């Protein structure tokens, strides 16, 4: 655990650096080659987007999936950049501009960003949470359990960023390094000693958290997702593993791992021996184990066995998979040396997470639930959980995203038809792909008559509600907290929670 004295010393350095430029030599990495210019060049900020360049910026020309930062050097120079970092040493850059060559601009960006912003990760107790499903719930619940009067806890996640004295909307689950470190710095200034953050596989692979010092690294699970990006499950797992085994730059002091997950068990076997492991799950050998689980429409109750004895846990979170999320969050408090009994008492008053099994209540006789489930495993879990606590029929509205792993479309459709009584397949961020092409892939998963395809998502939700009666449940899956649809590089306003509420109200007025 990092001490308050260390944090105060770091705050002095951070305050001295605020609103000032630094010399290039103060942030430059060793894996670079100076092509021209001087290490005495002043740098005011670090950017990867040419539109954000201001006089004195150091611009990192990063090749991306859609475009290449090297193609925007004219705009960057016109805006007044003082320094260019590139992986193309043969570019023509004016002599008055400092130019640096590096094989890996993304990795160098992370190194530069950490130094530029005063290395706040050295002085915060940072918990990095990774896994296919559950990251948002675990980080939000862990923050709730860790906070105490006068001691705020920071959070970086999919829904929002909590900075200690304020919160701002999230713009990315795991932001780029030049955005992460200012967020961490703001948390320190606001008095945070701890911060929890979601760490995505993309964020790890793209070096956004390279070199970051995690006090605790948390592994929740690994199921099919992002294979369009990683190629296969082995590559996907290897990216997640980097924040546990030192490949990311630092070893965590504690690894919190789901021992029920086969990949979690493998990870525990592959960890360096000096990383302390705290396991959780229903497995009898888990450090934090759940048994005698009882599920209901209002949440769950179970017995928690831990090194501190046995306790009865009452959680407002729905479903068996949320029992694991509770275990992970309690394990985090233990890993940080906090009082577990205090954390246990706070579980019952957790208000939940936006778009995660969120109930839409407008006085209707049937239940409506909005959830972010957009992977096969998450959808299976959501349907199984609702089936256990639904007396009537289960109606599902879901879709599959465009320009993403096409293989999971068939699998998700099979799961949908097996788990729900009526299924409405519709648009879910088609991006630049034809909706009919997405539907054609989904049709391969089932020819069941219960499956209906409806282009318009609002119409699909409305039709699902029309078929629901008292005792039934309508699950609107895939988008959760998101307030838009991605269509042809355009974000079109659409919030499942708002739309569901509007439709329920309109149907009640019409009846």
Domain that holds residue 448: 358-510
Contact 302, 319 (CB under 8 A): no
Residue 182: give its domain's CATH number.
3.40.1190.10
Residues 150 and 199 in one domain: yes
Beta bridge partners of 410: none
Residues 203 and 306 in one domain: yes
Contact 493, 483 (CB under 8 A): yes
Residues 202 and 311 in one domain: yes
Dmax over Cα atoms in the chain, in whole Å?
75
Residues 436 and 456 in one domain: yes
The pLDDT profile of the chain, 511 residues, written as one tens digit per residue, is 665 545 545 554 544 444 467 888 888 766 788 889 888 899 999 999 999 999 999 999 998 767 889 999 999 999 999 999 999 988 889 999 999 999 999 999 999 999 999 999 999 999 999 999 899 999 999 999 999 888 999 999 998 999 999 999 888 888 999 999 999 999 999 999 999 999 999 999 999 999 999 999 999 999 877 776 778 989 999 999 999 999 999 999 999 999 999 999 999 999 999 999 999 999 999 999 999 999 887 889 999 999 999 999 999 998 888 999 999 999 999 999 999 999 999 999 998 888 888 999 999 999 999 999 998 988 998 998 898 888 899 999 999 999 988 889 999 999 999 999 999 999 999 999 999 999 999 999 888 889 999 999 999 999 999 999 999 999 999 999 998 999 998 999 999 999 999 999 999 988 7
Residues 340 and 194 in one domain: yes
**So what's the pLDDT on residue 303?**
97
Specify if 439 maps to a domain.
yes
Of 349, 379, 403, the position where a domain reaches its end is 349
pTM for this one? 0.83
**So what's the pLDDT on residue 388?**
82
Q: How many helices (H) and strands (E) does the chain have?
A: 17, 26
**So what's the pLDDT on residue 352?**
85
Specify if 452 maps to a domain.
yes
**So what's the pLDDT on residue 4?**
53
Q: Compute and round to an integer the Cα radius of gyration of the chain.
A: 24
- Give the closest residue to 205 by CA, choosing from 235, 225, 232: 235
Q: CA end-to-end span of the chain, whole Å?
A: 60
**So what's the pLDDT on residue 446?**
85
Specify if 432 maps to a domain.
yes
Specify if 90 maps to a domain.
yes
Specify if 11 maps to a domain.
no
Residue 445: give its domain's CATH number.
3.90.190.20
Specify if 7 maps to a domain.
no
Residues 248 and 102 in one domain: no
Residues 364 and 316 in one domain: no
**So what's the pLDDT on residue 474?**
97
Residues 387 and 336 in one domain: no
Of 73, 94, 115, the position where a domain reaches its end is 115
**So what's the pLDDT on residue 3?**
59
Residues 34 and 106 in one domain: yes
Q: Under the phi-then-psi rule, with left for phi > 0, alpha for psi from -120 to 50, and beta for the rest, what region is 309?
A: left
Q: Which residue has the tokens 């965590």?
A: 252
Looking at the chain, how many residues does it have? Answer: 511
Residues 296 and 398 in one domain: no
| Total number of domains constituting the chain | 3
* Measured distance CA(182)–CA(263) in Å, rounded: 33
Specify if 9 maps to a domain.
no
Residues 96 and 198 in one domain: no
Of 349, 369, 386, the position where a domain reaches its end is 349
Residues 387 and 419 in one domain: yes
Residue 109: give its domain's CATH number.
3.40.1390.10
Residues in contact with 5: Cβ distance below 8 Å, sequence separation at least 6, in sequence order: none
């Amino acid at each position: 655990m990092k001490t308050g004295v260390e944090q105060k010393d770091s705050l002095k350095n951070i305050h001295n650096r605020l609103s000032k430029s630094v010399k290039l030599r103060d942030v430059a990495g060793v894996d670079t080659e100076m092509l021209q210019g001087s290490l005495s060049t002043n740098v005011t900020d670090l950017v990867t987007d040419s539109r954000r360049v201001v006089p004195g910026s150091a611009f990192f020309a990063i090749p991306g999936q859609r475009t290449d930062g090297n193609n925007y050097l004219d705009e960057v120079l016109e805006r007044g950049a003082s320094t260019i970092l590139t992986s193309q040493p043969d570019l023509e850059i004016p002599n008055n501009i400092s130019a640096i060559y590096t094989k890996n601009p993304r990795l160098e960006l992370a190194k530069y960003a950490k130094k530029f912003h005063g290395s706040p990760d050295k002085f915060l107790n940072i918990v990095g949470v990774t896994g296919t499903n559950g990251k948002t719930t675990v980080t939000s619940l862990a923050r709730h359990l860790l906070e105490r009067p006068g001691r705020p806890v920071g959070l970086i996640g999919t829904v929002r960023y909590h900075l200690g004295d304020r919160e701002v909307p999230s713009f990315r689950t795991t932001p780029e390094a030049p955005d992460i470190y200012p967020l961490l710095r703001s948390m320190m200034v606001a008095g945070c000693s701890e911060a929890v953050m979601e760490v995505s596989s993309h964020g790890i692979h793209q070096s956004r958290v390279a070199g970051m010092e995690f006090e605790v690294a948390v592994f929740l699970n690994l199921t099919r997702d992002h294979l369009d990006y990683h190629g296969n499950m082995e590559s996907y797992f290897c990216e997640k593993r980097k924040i546990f085994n030192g490949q990311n730059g630092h070893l965590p002091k504690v690894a919190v791992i789901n021992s029920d997950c086969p990949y979690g068990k493998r990870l525990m076997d592959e960890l360096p021996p000096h990383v302390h492991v705290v396991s959780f799950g229903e497995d009898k050998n888990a450090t934090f184990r759940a048994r005698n689980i009882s599920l209901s429409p209002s949440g769950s109750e179970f017995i928690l066995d831990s090194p501190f004895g046995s306790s009865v846990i009452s959680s407002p979170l729905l479903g068996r998979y949320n029992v694991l999320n509770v275990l992970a969050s309690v394990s985090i408090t233990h890993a940080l040396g906090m009082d577990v009994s205090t954390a246990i008492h706070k579980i019952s008053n957790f208000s939940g997470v936006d778009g995660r099994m969120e109930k839409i209540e407008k006085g209707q006789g049937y239940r409506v639930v909005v959830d972010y489930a957009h992977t096969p495993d998450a959808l299976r879990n959501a349907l199984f959980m609702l089936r256990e606590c639904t007396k009537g029929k289960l109606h599902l509205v879901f879709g599959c995203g465009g320009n993403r792993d096409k293989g999971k479309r068939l699998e998700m459709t099979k799961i949908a038809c097996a788990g729900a009584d009526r299924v409405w397949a519709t648009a879910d961020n088609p991006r630049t792909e034809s909706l009919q092409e997405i539907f054609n892939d989904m049709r391969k998963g089932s020819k069941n008559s219960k499956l209906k395809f409806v282009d318009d998502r609002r119409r699909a939700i409305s039709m699902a509600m029309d078929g629901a009666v008292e005792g039934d449940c309508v699950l609107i899956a895939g988008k959760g907290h998101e307030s838009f649809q991605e269509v042809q590089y355009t974000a079109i306003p659409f919030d499942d929670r708002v739309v569901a509420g509007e439709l329920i109200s309109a149907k009640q007025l019409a009846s």
